[in-house]
Every structure is written in structure tokens, then in C-alpha cells.
Amino acid sequence: MKTSLLIASVLALGGATMAQAADLNGNWARSDGKARVKIAKCGGDICATNTWIKPGTPSEKTGDVLVMKIEKVAENQYSGSAFDPQRDRSYNIKLDVAENKMTTTGCILGGLLCKGVGWTRIN
């Protein structure tokens, strides 16, 4: 589920334009120090692709992708769904972005089980 939280957790574009989602684009490091992702447009979607995984981190690998269908719901907030093709799982996802910090929250089972992950933008 970590990859799916944007990975995890991060996140079709679901109506948001790339200009609206531009603050999501770029490279992000997960707060636990075990993963880095690149968020970018991929076709009509937004994808979070693992660019680095700390050695020994189980169930994640470089190149894993999370495909997000999200839309802007408020200033610096996005909501929608995410699909993790490596695990064949779908999640409800929320993203809160504030300058160089982001929090992703992924939920399964109709929102009964949720997990949040912090991210920091990196160069």
C-alpha cells in the first residue's frame, strides 16, 4: 500500500488540467526516507513513479507506478482515485500540497482503512 499512497501511497486526470495540477509535478521524497517518486503527466493521467527505493524495503521497487485520477477540490487540495497496477489495487486518495510539502492519504474498503504519508519536494 505504500506505493499506492502516492505513492504509497502517490496519485485519467478526472477533469483537472495540467496547469491546475502543476504544483504536484516534480520529485518527492517520502518522509520515512525509504522512497522517492517523480510525479508527472502520463497520457491523460498523472503518475507517481518510484525513482529510488531504499535497499531492503519489502514490496516496493524502482519503476513501480501509481496512476491517479484526481481533481482539484480546494486550494492546494486534490481528491480522486489511484490505481496500483503492480498490486492490482484501487484506492481513494487525497493530496494536500503546501509549497514543498505534501501529504497523501490513501483509503481502501470504502474509507474504513486509511493511511497518510508525508512528502518533501526534492531537486
Q: What are phi and psi of 76, to 5 degrees?
A: 65, 20
DSSP string, 42-110: ETTEEEEEEEEE-TT-TT--TT-EEEEEEEEEETTEEEEEEEETTTTEEEEEEEEEETTEEEEEEEEGG
Q: ∠ CA(24), CA(30), CA(35), 5° rounding? A: 110
**Domain 22-122, classified CATH 2.40.128.30, yes or no:** yes
What pTM, to 2 d.p., does this model score?
A: 0.79
**The pLDDT value given to residue 48:** 96
Cβ pair 81, 93 in contact under 8 A: yes
Distance CA 38, CA 25 (A): 7
Name the residue ranges covered by the structural domains of the chain. Answer: 22-122
The string of pLDDT tens digits covering residues 55-106 is 998 889 999 999 999 999 999 999 999 999 999 999 999 999 988 999 999 9
Distance CA 119, CA 117 (A): 7
End-to-end CA gap in the chain: 25
